[in-house]
Amino acid sequence: MGLLIVLLLIWLAFVVIGFVVKGLFWLVIIGAVLFVATGIVGFIKREALGRR
């Protein structure tokens, strides 16, 4: 669970840096996609562990 939180914080930092630094809009896109993907994976794993 700790790794998931760290990854979400890293992706969020990418999004913020992409917004702050002009010309790095691609970093916003990559950060947002990875943030959502990590959240989905975490949600699926949490649901799988909860059913046991």
Helices (H), the chain: 2-20, 25-50
Is the whole-model pTM more than 0.85? Answer: no
**If you average pLDDT over residues 22-39, what whole number do you get?**
88
Are 41 and 11 within 8 A, CB to CB? no
Dihedrals phi, psi of 41, to nearest 5 degrees:
-60, -45
Which pLDDT does position 40 carry in this prediction? Answer: 92
pLDDT surpassing 90 at residue 36: yes
